[in-house]
Structure 1
């Protein structure tokens, strides 16, 4: 990656600096008459450095770290990008004139070390830290401070050899001593920097297949001429700088390491970014879902008890008919039930009231239960609608891109689930995001709404009445529009695949998708955002296919 970045960015100038997410910075370089957005990530699980083409949304207010980077690096010239031996540290060296006209030598160190990953800006001459994306004090790390004003110390050495420059000839391994490749792989990891399990197994296999003094250096020479690939086995992808004979599965080739990383991390990293940004939204929606599901359970229990209403009426009428047999002070009586061929029915009585009052008591119970049935039925319908709506919102959050979340938040504020942010009111009005655009194999344009705001606008305002509307049948998901009045069967199938993929049934198979012309889709008065009704639909069954979705994106 260092070689790739050097070839693209050498002597480039920084034109933009953004921090769209907590642990990630995107620095745009202008080099060779092109702009290159470079992602520097200190994410605990997805830390990396690469040129990225994945779109991102900037926060309204830049972070302190962003402001510090802009102050010192905006307009700076890139001198070099170097890796610290074969360790997971990449140093970006810059030059920039300060306010006095003197040239400052600055270093941006990206340490890719799992949960200890960090991005550190320092003066390259004095080694004094200017700022870090994560502040680490003495309580967290006794070996070194990562705070503004502290002296930068590199992470502790692991006392391992750099496999690219090893001159000790330790790599001339006695293969007879290590006939088991896994044992040899373990030994290689113990002795050499920056080698993971997959690479050590591939190296061990290569050494056994090519038993010569040059095999070790020949293997590492391959990294100088990468052929980026992603190997997928049992839906688990692994990326490598070149094809590994020890990795089996479907192989996908890429033009660059950056393109490989974009493809590998696009789903996981995006999902994590959404979870980070949507933390409060998810909590609110889950809590409301839990409340409504508990309410539904209680309402169903009340409905079951209210089903006894007719029995109260029968008992009241039988008591009234045979009132002369009922004596004050009785606690129960058995009378003929003329509603069931005069089978006897036992009726409980209160000995504190008269026979007539006992009959009236059953009539009152009957009326109360009947009223309860009517009320409970109304509440059940409302609660079901509420659960469907919140389920739909949760699905939208799970499928959203980070930039889609602001509209979901705004909708939840309007619907009363979230308190409006007073600070945001003073900011500019939120610009509405647009549905995602795809193209069918025959070139027909297909639009997919990612939230209720997009869905309503797409279906009710943007789409023509003759266009075709698609949605998963009785499953929360996106509104999909085929911008054609007479699409081919293949286009309908591809659009249905999009509807199934961008729904709660994304991981299911044989997903039913309804499709109908837009003119037959209507929004009921007072309906919640995203809710529509339709008639005259046809239905198609599809299996959501991520590969097809990515093909239709291009």
Structure 2
């Protein structure tokens, strides 16, 4: 699956168009790592899922029904206390990274206006949903991380939230024109060409790297040392075109299927895949279709664990 920074940008743009100024009318937590918002915006109701599941981390508009536990989990209660009935005043992405920040204004228990931020980090098993105040002090998180769990960064109430920084190139936030020349000097000859994008550029998944290599006419069986200067020129041209399409929001929404199973999805057309391509009106629809038809072991194991807990409670 390819929920990378480019897909995140497409989703954020879609959410801005329909949810800015919207009111969060209901907050539920159907499972351990999933939050669902019911948002009323511009005369319509939308359901937004925020998932920090290891293999399903994402944000998208959903039409699926989710069963909620009899007793809301603690994090759900914290969200209800701080941002339920709040207004979504901004939705932004950190560069081209898989980090989305919702700015929400609401009224506290004393009747004063207050501002909170809900930060969603889409990072595989390190995914998280974190509520902070306007000074980025952590109020709570769906996954609390103490110093025994991570020596790199703690996520715990009352601590200061810090974004994860990296040294990768963010093609959106600079004016470079020859990105390949920029990184060519430090690439070893034995480097696999499609891997250079994920390793050197923020928000790029292997799927995008493979597509760029394919469009530039580079043989995917050779190493970087055998790539010609003309091929590097074509590769940079494709990369620059992709940047412009991201900035101008000109990318579309696709899924790729084989034998009635969706294998992948992306907002960048993956012409190198020999799968059946289907285009959707929105990226949310494409992402929703992928996860609707591909239930992961992560979610099944979670449901299994919840059922065992209930059974043990009834047995006792």
Name the counterpart of 1:101: 111
2:250 is equivalent to residue 230 of structure 1: no
Of 151, 154, 161, the match for 1:152? 161
Using a 3 Å threshold, how does the CA distance of structure 1 residues 280 and 188 change in structure 2: closer, same or farther? closer
Q: CA contact under 8 A between 2:55 and 2:296: conserved in structure 1? A: no
Residues in 1 aligned to 2:72 and 2:306: alpha-carbon distance in whole angstroms: 20
Name the counterpart of 1:41: 51
Q: What is the Cα deviation at residue 18 of structure 1?
A: 0.1
Residues in 2 aligned to 1:145 and 1:273: alpha-carbon distance in whole angstroms: 25
Q: CA contact under 8 A between 1:23 and 1:42: conserved in structure 2? A: yes
Name the counterpart of 1:187: 196
Name the counterpart of 1:75: 85
Of 201, 214, 218, the match for 1:205? 214
Using a 3 Å threshold, how does the CA distance of structure 1 residues 220 and 233 change in structure 2: closer, same or farther? farther
Using a 3 Å threshold, how does the CA distance of structure 1 residues 183 and 271 change in structure 2: closer, same or farther? closer
2:240 is equivalent to residue 217 of structure 1: yes
Name the counterpart of 2:169: 161
Using a 3 Å threshold, how does the CA distance of structure 1 residues 97 and 195 change in structure 2: closer, same or farther? same
Q: CA contact under 8 A between 2:85 and 2:106: conserved in structure 1? A: yes
Name the counterpart of 2:122: 112
Name the counterpart of 2:94: 84
Residues in 2 aligned to 1:250 and 1:233: alpha-carbon distance in whole angstroms: 6
Q: What is the Cα deviation at residue 271 of structure 1?
A: 6.3
Residues in 1 aligned to 2:184 and 2:47: alpha-carbon distance in whole angstroms: 49
Q: CA contact under 8 A between 1:109 and 1:120: conserved in structure 2? A: yes
Residues in 1 aligned to 2:159 and 2:288: alpha-carbon distance in whole angstroms: 35
Higher helix share: 1
Of 45, 61, 81, the match for 1:51? 61
Using a 3 Å threshold, how does the CA distance of structure 1 residues 272 and 139 change in structure 2: closer, same or farther? closer
Residues in 2 aligned to 1:111 and 1:420: alpha-carbon distance in whole angstroms: 34
Which residues in structure 2 correspond to 1:262-277 (within 5 Å)?
A: 262-269=288-295, 272-277=298-303
Aligned length: 286
Name the counterpart of 1:492: none
Using a 3 Å threshold, how does the CA distance of structure 1 residues 248 and 105 change in structure 2: closer, same or farther? same
Residues in 1 aligned to 2:18 and 2:271: alpha-carbon distance in whole angstroms: 30
What's the secondary structure of 1:184's corresponding residue?
coil
Of 38, 50, 53, the match for 1:28? 38
Using a 3 Å threshold, how does the CA distance of structure 1 residues 184 and 175 change in structure 2: closer, same or farther? farther
Q: What is the Cα deviation at residue 232 of structure 1?
A: 2.1
Of 245, 265, 268, the match for 1:239? 265
Residues in 1 aligned to 2:236 and 2:289: alpha-carbon distance in whole angstroms: 37
Name the counterpart of 1:288: none
Using a 3 Å threshold, how does the CA distance of structure 1 residues 59 and 270 change in structure 2: closer, same or farther? farther
Residues in 1 aligned to 2:81 and 2:307: alpha-carbon distance in whole angstroms: 34
What's the secondary structure of 2:155's corresponding residue?
coil
Q: What is the Cα deviation at residue 73 of structure 1?
A: 0.4
Q: What is the Cα deviation at residue 262 of structure 1?
A: 1.1
Q: CA contact under 8 A between 2:255 and 2:262: conserved in structure 1? A: no
Residues in 2 aligned to 1:212 and 1:44: alpha-carbon distance in whole angstroms: 33
Instruction: Report the TM-score when normalising by structure 2.
Output: 0.81
Q: What is the Cα deviation at residue 143 of structure 1?
A: 2.4
- Higher RCO, 1 or 2 (CA under 8 Å, sep at least 6)? 2
Name the counterpart of 2:18: 8
2:92 is equivalent to residue 66 of structure 1: no
Task: After the TM superposition, list the runs of 4 or more consecutive aligned residues in structure 1 that deviate by more than 6 angstroms.
Answer: 174-178
Using a 3 Å threshold, how does the CA distance of structure 1 residues 419 and 169 change in structure 2: closer, same or farther? closer
Task: Supply the RMSD in Å over aligned alpha carbons.
Answer: 2.9
What's the secondary structure of 1:75's corresponding residue?
coil
Residues in 2 aligned to 1:174 and 1:76: alpha-carbon distance in whole angstroms: 45
Of 276, 281, 286, the match for 1:260? 286
What's the secondary structure of 1:59's corresponding residue?
coil
Q: CA contact under 8 A between 1:207 and 1:216: conserved in structure 2? A: no
User: How far does the alpha carbon of each residue in 1:434-466 deviate from its partner, in whole angstroms, 9 at most, with x for none?
Assistant: xxxxxxxxxxxxxxxxxxxxxxxxxxxxxxxxx
Using a 3 Å threshold, how does the CA distance of structure 1 residues 270 and 37 change in structure 2: closer, same or farther? farther
**Greater mean alpha carbon deviation, residues 64-73 or residues 225-234:** 225-234
